[in-house]
Amino acid sequence: MVSSPLSSAFNRQEIEQLRRSLLNWYDRQGRDLPWRREPTPYRVWISEIMLQQTQVKTVLPYFDRWLQQYPDVKSLANADIQQVLKTWQGLGYYARARNLHRAATLIVERHNSEFPNRYDEVIDLPGIGRSTAGGILSGAFNQPVAILDGNVKRVLARLTALPVPPSKAVKSLWALSESLLDRQRPRDFNQAFMDLGATLCTPKNPACLLCPWRESCQGYNLDLQSELPMRETRNPIPHKHIGVAVIVGEDGKILIDRRPPKGLLGGMWEFPGGKIEPNESVTDCIRREIKEELDIEIEVGEHLITVEHAYTHLKVSLNVYRCRHRSGEPKPLECDEIRWVMLDELEDYPFPKANVKIIEALRQAA
């Protein structure tokens, strides 16, 4: 852990200068974003959740579509969760969409459909942690509540030449973020903080010569900016090989199933299958998994596609085969629901990104 508190790294005069220079830069260079032009609590909340672990350029089209489909808390709370997941499809981290839906329901029930403006009530909502609560309360209500997202951690690590990975100094980084926060313009300051990390103080090749904090930045002055923040020592990311079955019935319909609502990809639809065991062939895996999951017999046919996909903590290879349903009535033994659908109906269901590539391969082969 960091031995001395980072909040004392700068005196009052230096903090005032840091605030002033950042806000002056933001007034000239701040990004023009839809939730900033119209910072209602609902719009700011949606943007903050979408921006978790996702870049602005990716979020923008999703944000526009979301607001068209769910313009307020009530419309989101009243929406079917399957439609919500479909709208979210492609953004990843699907727990965020499920939490938005659950939180909207709670806001309608507890807060008369008005997004709360008290910290304890905001952080009590599903999917909202300390930094997201700060982003919402400062962005929507201009309240002086600090943030500490990934961009801010990187900026502060370079600003102070942090000698440990940010995860080892979270308490000190929070204290520093709170001490730097401009109480007169908290909304603009926090937005400027995030913009600085997203546009100049980037993970690679930071644009230090354009940075308003360059003169005060210990990382820059020590020529360490490219080596900071310090990285954690990580174990290799596991790589799973999965056998996947596109099961076609005699009527030409395809079997899909819906995952349980919790966990990775919860509530999403997929083509059934499972992990290939050691010394097991892909075709044997598929036959075994389909028997275990659905209690039916299938004939494994030709290889359709292999899809490589990476999550933050896991890599998967989906080995996809066409299969024929031979006998048995499918049962949802390890899923929440089963449906037989035509190829052109698949687009109506929310699928994970990797499964979308399977659907594209099916269409091309049709």
As a whole number of angstroms, the distance between CA 244 and CA 271 comes to 6
Q: What pLDDT does residue 4 have?
A: 46
- In the structure encoding, which two tokens stand for residue 65, read together? 């579509």
Number of H helices and E strands in the chain, helices first, is 15, 7
Q: Which is catalytic among the residues 14, 48, 292, 345?
A: 48
- Name the pLDDT band for 313 (thresholds 50, 70, 90): confident
Residue 79 has a pLDDT of 98
pLDDT digits (tens, 9 = 90+) for 52-75: 989 999 999 999 999 999 999 999
- Strand-pairing partners, residue 244, are 273, 320
Interval 299-319 mean pLDDT: 93
Asked if the 239-365 domain carries CATH number 3.20.19.10, the reply is no
- d(C-alpha 161, C-alpha 176), whole Å: 13
Q: What is the pLDDT of residue 5?
A: 56
Span 37-57, average pLDDT: 96
Q: Does the pLDDT value for residue 3 go beyond 60? A: no
- Residue 155: closest CA among 119, 111, 109, 207: 207
325 bridge partner residues: 298
CA pseudo-torsion sign 319, 324, 327, 329: positive
Among 26-30, 187-191, 230-234, 315-319, the least confident range: 230-234
pLDDT at 142: 98
The reported pLDDT for the residue numbered 249 is 94
Given the DSSP bridges, would you call strands 254-258 and 269-270 parallel, antiparallel or unpaired?
antiparallel
For Cα atoms 169, 138, 21, give the angle at the middle one, nearest 5 degrees: 70
* Whole-Å CA distances, 135 to 43, 149, 190, 308: 12, 9, 7, 35
250 is known as an active-site residue: no
Residues 313-323: what's their mean pLDDT? Answer: 94
Q: What is the pLDDT of residues 341-350, one digit of tens each?
A: 999 999 999 9
Does residue 356 have a pLDDT over 60? yes
Residue 326's H or E segment, with its range, is: strand 315-327
Q: What is the mean pLDDT of the chain?
A: 94
Structure confidence by residue, pLDDT tens digits, 7-20? 567 899 999 999 99
The Cα diameter of the chain in Å comes to: 78
DSSP 91: S
What pLDDT does 261 receive? Answer: 87
* Contact call for residues 186 and 125 (beta carbons, < 8 A): no
Q: What is the pLDDT of residues 153-182, one digit of tens each?
A: 999 999 999 999 999 999 999 999 999 999
Choose the CATH number for 6-227 among 1.10.510.10, 3.40.50.300, 1.10.340.30, 3.40.920.10.
Answer: 1.10.340.30
Report the percent of the chain where pLDDT is more than 70: 98
**DSSP structure class, residue 197:** I
Can you give the residue ranges of every domain in the chain?
Answer: 6-227, 239-365
